[in-house]
Amino acid sequence: MADEKDLNGLDDYTPDIYTLEDEDGNEQAFELLDVMEFEGEKYFALTPYAEDAEDMLSSDGEVVILKSVYEGDEEMMVSIDDDEEYERVGKVFIERLEEMYDFNDDE
Q: Where are the beta strands (DSSP E) in the chain?
A: 17-21, 27-38, 41-48, 64-71, 74-78
Is residue 4 scored above 70 in pLDDT? no
pLDDT tens digit sequence for 40-93: 999 999 999 877 666 555 567 788 999 999 999 999 999 999 999 999 999 999
Q: How confident is the model at residue 51, as a pLDDT?
A: 74
Handedness of CA 74, 75, 79, 80 (dihedral sign): positive
Instruction: Calculate mean pLDDT across residues 13-19.
Output: 86
Q: Which residue has the higher pLDDT, 90 or 23?
A: 90
